Chains A and B, each alone.
Chain A
Amino acid sequence: MKLNIIVLAKQVPDTRNIGEQAMNADGTINRSALPAIFNPEDLNALEQALLLKEQNPGSRITLLTMGPQRAADILREGLYRGADEGILLTDRAFAGADTLATSYALSAAINKIGEYDIVLCGRQAIDGDTAQVGPQVAQQLGLPQVTYVRRIVTIEDNRIVVERSIGNGVETVAAPLPLLLTVDGSAAPCRPRNAYRLLRYHRAAVPSELSVGENGKKPADESVLKEWSLADVNGDASRCGLGGSPTKVRKVENIIFQVKESKRLTADDADIKALVGELLANHTIG
């Protein structure tokens, strides 16, 4: 069957390769010293899409990312690896979004894309590590979801069978289409960039890159790279960006884990109840 597949991707600072200049003197991240990369588990998700496309000729893969203009880099990266088109969702109104506002904006864009059978995304991004955006997008779209997918087993008659990692084992799950899958790092690694696609798309640009005169870039075919604003996806500004984000960061501090004191508890209900009460009271949980 021909599938319409949407892959959600995020451009993230490469936190796996942290050099000496990665942190400013005041403890904040020096973003210019960290190369921006395709979030690793989103690449696992892209590979699942590419495998599905191989098994289901005629399928189409749309890569969707929300971010500033430079996030177009990961759309090109996706084209080099085999995606059919890329959409950059970019607008000042999206700035400062938490996971809820992000998932709202992405789901508005997915609604605009319209027809789809599967939405694939990485389990979590290596900068925020929340693993919330995928599930929230499913919620916003009213889709069933399977998280921590490591392999798609079969797909036929609007029914998908997948294996999901559950820590110390694998669970096989069947679900109806359309649905959303979050893919984790135990899934197949993404195939490399392909030289032919690299040569074909290395100058493809989204409109705003052209307007600032990026070196030698040329307009991409509209069907390959698109750029959408809040208005383009008919979004509600109050649900986007900083204003649409219930998460407020009060302060950020360095935590160095140290054992200061220890307490021995027994496994009886009273001790556990007392511990939970204590943790709630000092806001460690809840």
Chain B
Amino acid sequence: MNYYSDNEILRHYLGHPLLKRIVEAKEQGYSQADKYNYAPADFAEAVEGYEQVLELVGELCAEYIAPNAMAVEEEGPSVENGRVKYAPATEHNLDLFRKAGLMGVSLPRCYGGLNFPMTVFTLIEDVVSRADAAFGNLWALQDCAETINCFGSDKQRERYLPRVCAGATMSMDLTEPDAGSDLQSVRLKATYSEEDGCWYLDGVKRFITNGDSDIHLVLARSEEGSVDGRGLSLFIVEKECGGVHTRRLENKMGIHGSPTCEIVFNRARAELCGSRRMGLIKYVMSLMNGARLGIATQSVGLAQATYNEALEYARSRKQFGKEIINFPAVYDIVGTMKARLDAARSLLYETARNVDMTNIFNDIARERSLTPEERQESKIFAKKADALTPIVKGIASEIANQNAYDAVQVHGGSGYMRDYLCERLYRDARITSIYEGTTQLQVVAAIRYATGGFYSQLLNEYLSENVPESLQPLRVRVQNMCDKYNEALERVQSFGDQEIIDFLARRIYEMASYSIMSSLLLLDAAANEELFLPSLNRFIAISEAIVAGHSTYICNFVPELINYFKQK
């Protein structure tokens, strides 16, 4: 078994035309081959290398990570003397991934990383999450190192990044008991000691994934007396320097293998990362965007796992003398699951490519100033990445939950029992639409790109690309959806009332999302009709119904309706 090569759709995303440009830039015109013996000399060799590594990940996931997942969940982590002890199966997984050299996938070679683009990192995370979402968390937190890479000093890069590549684990310590969605209220105190020439942190963080990591990124209040986000800075804390310990672990519904910690900072020595006061407004925003793409990927991996379970069960379970997959009520569910999965994945890789292009221009900008054309282009990629991230995080996590619900439903009574994998997947998926910003917050982040006309513009761009004659009728249907979206958006804005916009925002967000996913799936089908045509047909039908539903709601909406929703 191999979780990469058994899924042809993953390979499709290595074939996207933009990837060639991404890799060429990431490899600085393939100039690193002379300096590093594992750097590719051309595009073909780079892609062959990605495939080899993906095959390796696919094999490790199928043969070790997935079979270990039950033991990881059942044993779970524990706390002893303020330190987290992973389950033995988790230790085994980490050891395997360290030995396989998969701990610094996207970091530059000069720090010992593989220098893979985000698109390929995402493919790896997609495969890992299908095998075990809880282990996926521990592994994918290596992406926090990107924040040090982007905003840290040279000294910090040299000190921390090689350790991450060698397998040191990371965490992002943001949430506090009174600062969840509202991070501006973070209170953890950072004090500078002139005497020691360093910062000290004091306070408590809660709900911290892998909170006993080797290297912490911590959001703390460095400006005494400040009350908002502008008084917060980002710090790096090393476990081995002491002063930080885990007080307790949360007893969660799912992802049991991923320790969620309440951690206490007691005069913990810390280094400032980047500039003071920029912690929340710049660095955490960047960190969160990366993390949101990560959760979207985890969601797609889970949507894949749930679909696989439902399909296998429906094909083998017999009732009324035949396999239940033959009943319309069942193949409707399973076919819908696959369509949603493929659509979410298409959006995921479109987002990843735009994140890659954004990162590439940021990297160049650190070396030299961009030309006016480059600056223009970089702005467009950055805007696309910023606009698509809240959509993919919100929608892919909702889809993971819908698929998890459906997988249990297909299993019937058996799906409610612990004996079946879909039961764990159902619990594991539930967090995806909550952490790293709830779906409701993704709507808040996305709505300005709707009202500002950016999603409409993006849809025009996607729909103006060439598709073969055979797909024209489907293209017209997607265009009709976009028209409905634009009409609804116009009506919402015509009220000129912020509360009404906020109240209807989720519907606008979903209309934009389903139109965008339909367009992207159309483009995928244009590149590989055989692979995508069934899902495209299903997904357009599903999306039309969703878009029409929201359209009706918005058309019939009158401002008085809001009052009926408010609880007295």
Q: Which residues of A contact B (CB under 8 A)?
A: 191-200, 202-203, 216
Contact = CB atoms under 8 A, between A and B. Distances in A.
A190 to B, nearest CB: 10
Contacts of B56: 192-193, 195, 198
A203 B45 contact: yes
B6 to A, nearest CB: 14
A215 to B, nearest CB: 9
B40 interface: yes
A195 B48 CA distance: 12
Which of A192, A193, A195, A200: most chain B Cβ within 10 A? A195
B49 A194 contact: no
B99 A198 contact: no
Given A216-B44, A216-B48, A198 B96 contact: no
B38 A193 contact: no
Nearest to B39: A199
B49 A196 contact: no
Contact of A196 (B45, B48, B59, B101): B101
A194 B101 contact: yes
Contacts of B500: none
B458 interface: no
A24 B99 CA distance: 40
B52 interface: yes
B53 A198 contact: yes
Contacts of B99: 191-192, 194
A199 B40 CA distance: 8
Contact of B100 (A192, A202, A203): A192
B37 interface: yes
A203 B101 contact: no
18 contacts: A192-B96, A192-B99, A193-B56, A194-B101, A195-B56, A195-B101, A195-B114, A196-B38, A196-B101, A199-B38, A199-B40, A199-B49, A199-B52, A199-B114, A200-B37, A202-B48, A216-B44, A216-B45
Interface of B: 37-40, 44-45, 48-49, 52-53, 56, 59-60, 96, 99-102, 105, 114
B110 to A, nearest CB: 14
Which of A197, A199, A203: most chain B Cβ within 10 A? A199
B447 to A, nearest CB: 40
B265 to A, nearest CB: 35
A202 B37 CA distance: 11
Contacts of B100: 192-195
A197 B101 CA distance: 9
Nearest to B124: A195
Nearest to B37: A200
Contacts of A191: 99
A212 B225 CA distance: 74
B102 A195 contact: yes
Contacts of B37: 200
Given A192-B96, A203-B48, 18 more contacts: A192-B56, A192-B59, A193-B100, A194-B100, A194-B101, A195-B53, A195-B114, A196-B114, A197-B101, A198-B49, A198-B52, A199-B38, A199-B39, A199-B49, A199-B53, A200-B38, A216-B44, A216-B48
A285 B398 CA distance: 68
A204 to B, nearest CB: 11
The 10 closest A-B pairs by CB, nearest first: A195-B101, A199-B38, A200-B38, A192-B100, A194-B101, A199-B49, A191-B99, A196-B101, A195-B53, A200-B37
A129 B402 CA distance: 51
B373 to A, nearest CB: 33
Contacts of A202: 48-49, 52
A130 B105 CA distance: 43
A262 to B, nearest CB: 41
Contacts of B53: 195, 198-199
A192 B99 CA distance: 7
A200 B33 CA distance: 10
B49 A192 contact: no
Contacts of B59: 192
Nearest to A199: B38
A117 B48 CA distance: 37
Contacts of A199: 38-40, 49, 52-53, 114
Contacts of A193: 56, 100
B546 to A, nearest CB: 41
Contacts of A197: 38, 101
A126 B180 CA distance: 57
A45 to B, nearest CB: 18
Nearest to A216: B44
Contacts of A216: 44-45, 48
B52 to A, nearest CB: 5
Contacts of B40: 199
Contacts of A200: 37-38
A194 B59 CA distance: 12
B88 to A, nearest CB: 15
B248 to A, nearest CB: 34
Contacts of B38: 196-197, 199-200
Nearest to B60: A192
A66 B560 CA distance: 83
Contacts of B49: 198-199, 202
A193 B102 CA distance: 11
Nearest to B41: A218
A195 B45 CA distance: 14
B277 to A, nearest CB: 39
A84 to B, nearest CB: 14
A47 B53 CA distance: 21
Which of B38, B40, B45, B59: most chain A Cβ within 10 A? B38
B80 to A, nearest CB: 27
A194 B38 CA distance: 11
